[in-house]
A and B are shown apart, each in its own frame.
Chain A
Amino acid sequence: MVELSSGLLALSSAIALASSAFAAAWAEKNIGVAAIGAMAEKEELFGKGLILTVIPETIVIFGLVVSILILTLKY
């Protein structure tokens, strides 16, 4: 039987990744909407809009790193 602790580790790793992914998605949604709005007015803003939109991606990367670190913990 799998130990309880390993299950908890997997679960917490999943929570770390999922919550940060939600956070990133929510942030990106808001920025993306604004960026599209700005682009409708001025098309040259595509580059800037793209960058601003992907900035919160870092959140989910952090989440991923944390979740990998949790998985590699000794138990």
Chain B
Amino acid sequence: MLAPYRMSRVIIAGPNNVQETAVKELHDMKILHIVEHSKSKLADIGKPLESASKLSEILVKIRALISTLNIKQEEATFKLKKSLLEIESTTKKLSDEVTKNLEGLKSIEEQLAKKDAVKQELEILKDVNVPLEYFISYKSLAYFIGYIKSKYILTLREELSKITNEFMLFDSATQKGIFIVLFVDVKKKEQIIQFLQKAGFLPLNFIHISDFKGTALSNLSKIEEEISKLHNKIESVKKNLEKLSNEYESFLLAADKFLRIELEKAEAPLMFASTPSSFLIKGWIPTDDLSKSIERLKTATKNKILVHFEPAKKHDKVPIKLKNPKLINSFEVLMNLYTMPLYKELDPTFFLFLTFPILFGFMLGDFGYGLVTLIIALVLKKMIPKARHFFNIFILASLSTMIFGLIFGEFFGFEELFGREIPHLLSRSHELMPLLYIAIGIGVVHLNIGFTLGFINEFKSHGLVHAIYAKGSWFILQIGLVLLLYLYINSLINLLNLVIGIILLFIIIILMLYKGEGVRGPIEIPSLFSNTLSYARLMAIGVSSVQLAMVINHQSEQFFHGSPVMILFGVIILLIGHIINIGLGLLGSFLHSLRLHYVEFFSKFFHGGASKYVPFGIKKQN
């Protein structure tokens, strides 16, 4: 608590022939935070192990298979008891089979597309009882196939008989108009075209059925049969792929995990410094685990490596592993969101644990809402154990909300139940000004905790005098202002004295801050006031939440005196309204409580910016 784990700087050196063993052991131990070596005159970075290129090749294949077989990406549950060679051959076999299936599928789909086009054309011609082989080019005969507008069909016949009596006409009504097939003497072609243009003739081209014989109807049934056969084929290929996917799912996932780990090991030397015959690893190990892990490493490599270690020095960039007891460590989530504290700094997680739920509860502050969010948090924690830390925060915040709900006497926005007032210490909807003062009071206390922590930080890193200049001055400013105002209000000094006093006070504070924090210090004086006032949001968000809840209750109440349908309507308004209000309240209270910590509270003592401790072997989370 309050400080992260102690770390030791470790340098591991050894000959190249034990590098692989050392990497394997380090990966299994998951203890060393490796600091990447950057290329220098003294030593180049290491080369990846020989197996790396092969591993990544197979890994790419496996990932491709996983995506083509539509396998859901999840952590493999069982360990693979196969050698790399077996994985490779299985992968190759599977990959070939899948490719074969996919290619088959593609060719079938192409065939199907062609048949579909043929089918469409045949369907148009199915009512025309003319063998398809007649539709070729003749020397003495011209033919037209297409649609004309329905009103022209009678005139067409008349017109035709005027032009010639050697013609053959089939017609049938369709949605697009009258479908016609017309054979005429080629000499009359021009005349016919002229008339057809007037009749809005829409010619059709049949390119897919030029080499078909027999009537369209007989061809159609044949084609339909073929199409359904192709569909069956597609089904069977898809089933095949599905079978493969089911059969190899666990293998692929396990192989993916196995290869990822192996690749990580194989590529680890890229982070090392190396000479032609030796390697050197720089990194950090928690001091508590130091001797145990060095022992293990030495045994694994048969004492062929050299390990040097020393505690962290003042200006080292130490990776941070936060150290907090159970429950409090849930609030490390909020630190991860922000940044890691520096090695020598106070770890603010404990203070987040202390004040975050209070600020949250003050804003939401409704017993009913607290109860709902508590139940939701408990259920979700069971359902998503991965995010349990996050839900722990919510559980604590909900409990605090319920406590504040009792203090404010609120239950789903109601301040009275069954005609009786709920006992309360403070009513948020009526006593606005007291609520504002309390909110700002909380702010003053919270900020002063921040200044105190800042004082401790400065004292530890720069000594007492510096701490008084940089952080103590803020206390002097506050005490001075309060005393001056007290004297003035009780008429112990007059206005002139007050002004002179305030000016003197500010001159002193500006000088102190300038000495303590440089130019930045005095500039921050106005922020003291804006930061304090910022805590007014505790009241603002709370009141808006209450008012919204009351509006919802009031609106639905009107419906409860009506018919059953109206009552149902009222219940729906009540439900939806409160769900929205709880959602808004959760979001608002969470963000604003977080913001009050990050911006107002942390700026008083916290620097941060250290990197997180991520030991080799643990999957990095980006």
Contacts and interface: CB of A to CB of B under 8 A. Distances in A.
A65 B536 contact: yes
A43 B337 CA distance: 10
A61 B536 contact: yes
A75 to B, nearest CB: 17
A51 to B, nearest CB: 5
A72 B431 CA distance: 12
Interface stretch (B36-44, B395-403, B590-598): B590-598
Interface in A52-75: 54-55, 57-58, 61-62, 64-65, 68, 72
- Residue of A43, A47, A62 contacting most chain B CB atoms (<10 Å): A47
Contacts of B622: 43
Contacts of A22: none
B536 A64 contact: yes
Nearest to A46: B337
Contacts of B511: none
A72 B118 CA distance: 84
Contacts of B592: 54, 57
Given A62-B533, A65-B436, A47 B339 contact: yes
Contacts of A11: none
B533 A61 contact: yes
Interface string A14-28: 000000000000000
B530 interface: yes
Contacts of A65: 436, 533, 536
A15 to B, nearest CB: 17
Contacts of A38: none
B551 interface: no
A66 to B, nearest CB: 10
B337 A47 contact: yes
Given A47-B337, A50-B594, A65-B436, A55 B599 contact: yes
Nearest to A55: B599
Given A54-B591, A64-B540, A65-B436, A47 B533 contact: no
A47 B595 CA distance: 10
B479 interface: no
B384 interface: no
Contact of B599 (A46, A51, A62, A64): A51
Contacts of A61: 533-534, 536-537, 540
A61 to B, nearest CB: 5
Which secondary structure dominates where chain A touches chain B? helix
- Residue of A50, A61, A64 contacting most chain B CB atoms (<10 Å): A61
A51 B594 CA distance: 9
Given A57-B537, A64-B536, A72 B598 contact: no
A7 B572 CA distance: 36
A51 B598 contact: yes
A54 B534 CA distance: 11
B533 A54 contact: no
Nearest to B539: A64
Interface residues of B, number: 19
Contacts of B533: 58, 61-62, 65
Contacts of B595: 50-51, 54, 57
A65 B443 CA distance: 15
B433 interface: yes
B338 interface: yes
B44 to A, nearest CB: 29
B436 A58 contact: no
B598 A50 contact: yes
B240 to A, nearest CB: 40
Interface string B579-622: 00000000000011011001100000000000000000000001
A20 to B, nearest CB: 11
A46 B534 CA distance: 22
Interface string B519-549: 0000000000010011011001000000000
Contacts of A54: 591-592, 595, 599
B436 A68 contact: yes
B508 interface: no
Contacts of B591: 50, 54
Contacts of B536: 61, 64-65
A47 B598 CA distance: 9
Contacts of B530: 58, 62
B432 interface: yes
Interface of B: 337-339, 432-433, 436, 530, 533-534, 536-537, 540, 591-592, 594-595, 598-599, 622
Interface of A: 43, 46-48, 50-51, 54-55, 57-58, 61-62, 64-65, 68, 72
Given A50-B591, A54-B595, 8 more contacts: A46-B337, A57-B592, A58-B533, A61-B536, A64-B540, A65-B533, A68-B432, A68-B436
26 contacts: A43-B622, A47-B337, A47-B338, A47-B339, A47-B598, A48-B338, A50-B337, A50-B594, A50-B595, A54-B592, A54-B595, A55-B599, A57-B595, A58-B534, A61-B533, A61-B537, A62-B533, A64-B536, A64-B540, A65-B436, A65-B533, A65-B536, A68-B432, A68-B433, A68-B436, A72-B433
